[in-house]
Amino acid sequence: MKVLHYSLGLPPYRTGGLTKYSYDLMGEQVKQGEEVYLLFPGRHNNSKHIHIKKYKEHKNIKVFELINPLPVPLLNGTKESKKFMVTASKDIYKKFLKHINVEVVHIHTLMGMHMEFLEACRELNIKTVYSTHDYFGLCPKVNFIDLDKNLCQDRDYKKCTLCNESGFSFNKIKILQSVPYREFKNIGGIDFLKKVTSKIKKLKKSKANVDCKQSYFKNLNNSFNKKNNSMELLLNYYLQMFKSIDLFLFNSSVTESIYKKYLNKEGLVLPITHKHIKDKRIIKDYSKNELRVTYLGPNKAYKGFCILVETMNSLKSKGFENIKLNLYGDNSLNESNIKGNIKNHGRYKYSELERIFENTDVLIVPSIWYETFGFITLEALSHGVPVILTKKVGSKDLIITGKEKGFVIEDNSKALEEILIKIFKDRSLLEKLNKNIVEEEFNYSLKEHAKKLKKALNY
């Protein structure tokens, strides 16, 4: 099979679950004898001439760069909506697709992509599939969380416009897509600057906690200008792009339900994985008096961080001081503002996960947004660790499939507090879940996932 992947690019320039999955999948497909290509949205230059050029060959993946793509906003919003709907010559894409002669185009994001790319695929009878890593195209800010940190139940064009007013300008996006920035990030320059900034914040004792009670819409409402509102056109633009895709690969039942709310498209639910998922399951010892709870992620409200802190504060006030929370993933938290039953360990390396899970009784994934999947749940299960997660987390499918491997709860502090007290008082609940995880067949390898994907594509 000859397959072209369209994603944000290669690591370390691009990071996150989308990049991790697409990169590892391409590598596995190469191992299985497939001919693999990658097209990514690259730099902008002064000529504004849209074209595709060979970037390099990377581990037998033939990589191409789209020059002068549409802007890539990442999580920052689409402030200048019209810039995201610029037309391109269909012939550019047709020429490229004919040249590489692929059978399937696997799309991991719409960011940077012109409508004409999909039109070219359709006219050349090339099958297109789309993996639902996030909600970009349905929500310009990706996660359906508004500026007041509330979950959007329905889209409102005016509200979307207000949300995106704080987005990056086109000129700033151009810098972030530039070659100097890419190369600087590839050599670790951006990570170094982040570390320095984090240390400065700590020295200044700046308040870096999450403010869970801000309100923005009343302040932004006056700046809304109906004459300049092109958000409706942009969302309709993405709707037409989605309609042009042949098959959706939903990475969870959560993403399936959200996409089907806005699109009348069929697809398959296919949970994702990556190459570093290995079977490291062990029977754990739950005889200790202390209950060791772990959260791995940023201190962001949409990740449920506010719920987590509120729960731990309540538990401490009620005398449950032996329920301890260990935080990993964010250096910016002001430790002077958290209670004694919470310890912040800051950023961690992937190589440290085994040690972290050795010292974890239960993992918490408390997201309040419709999290499309969540690799960290998969990581926990691969180490034999039970998981507490909200019903909005896509990887709950792993917990409820087969033997019970954790708890699925409502996304509020009351539900989280109740389950933590329950397992603190009765450790046999965790022992049973740990036993279920260890005894169940391990079906999370990337090799098997790639085979399932190929079967789903009928190749």
Residue 215 has pLDDT above 60, yes or no: no
* Among 52-61, 159-168, 243-252, 344-353, the least confident range: 159-168
Same domain, 87 and 231: yes
pLDDT at 180: 84
Strand partners, 38: 5, 63
The domain that holds 75 is classified in CATH as 3.40.50
pLDDT digits (tens, 9 = 90+) for 378-419: 999 999 999 999 999 999 999 998 899 999 999 999 999 999
Residue 237 has pLDDT above 70, yes or no: yes
Residue 319 has pLDDT above 90, yes or no: yes
Residue 197 has pLDDT above 60, yes or no: no
Residue 78 has pLDDT above 80, yes or no: yes
Range with the largest mean pLDDT of 47-51, 287-291, 455-459 = 287-291
Same domain, 210 and 308: no
Q: By the 8 A CB rule, do 43 and 294 touch?
A: no
Q: Provide the pLDDT confidence category of residue 205 given band limits of 50, 70 and 90.
A: very low
What integer is the mean pLDDT of 341-356? 95
The domain that holds 360 is classified in CATH as 3.40.50.2000
Is the alpha carbon torsion for 401, 406, 407, 413 positive or negative? negative
* Among 33-37, 86-90, 200-204, 345-349, the least confident range: 200-204
Q: In whole angstroms, give the CA distance from residue 118 to residue 360.
A: 46
Q: Where are the alpha helices (DSSP H) in 321-410?
A: 353-358, 375-382, 396-400
Determine how many CB atoms are found less than 10 A away from the CB of residue 212: 12
Q: By the 8 A CB rule, do 6 and 105 touch?
A: yes
- List Cβ neighbours of 106 (8 Å cut-off, separation of 6 or more): 3, 4, 5, 6, 22, 129, 131
Q: Is residue 320 part of a domain?
A: yes
Same domain, 323 and 186: no
Same domain, 306 and 403: yes
Q: By the 8 A CB rule, do 136 and 33 touch?
A: no
Q: What is the mean pLDDT of the chain?
A: 90
What integer is the mean pLDDT of 108-128? 98
Same domain, 238 and 344: no
Same domain, 259 and 366: no
Q: In whole angstroms, give the CA distance from residue 348 to residue 356.
A: 9
Same domain, 355 and 396: yes
Strand partners, 291: 323
By the 10 Å C-beta count (0-12 exposed, 13-18 middle, 19+ buried), 287 is classed as: exposed
- Where residue 130 falls (left for φ over 0; alpha for ψ -120 to 50; beta otherwise) is beta
Q: By the 8 A CB rule, do 252 and 373 touch?
A: yes
pLDDT at 207: 46
Q: Is residue 453 part of a domain?
A: no
What integer is the mean pLDDT of 149-157? 84
> What 3-state DSSP class applies to 320?
coil
Number of domains in the chain: 2
pLDDT digits (tens, 9 = 90+) for 8-40: 999 998 989 999 999 999 999 999 999 999 999
Q: By the 8 A CB rule, do 201 and 346 touch?
A: no
Same domain, 116 and 207: yes
pLDDT at 206: 46
Domain that holds residue 433: 291-439
Q: In whole angstroms, give the CA distance from residue 15 to residue 338.
A: 29
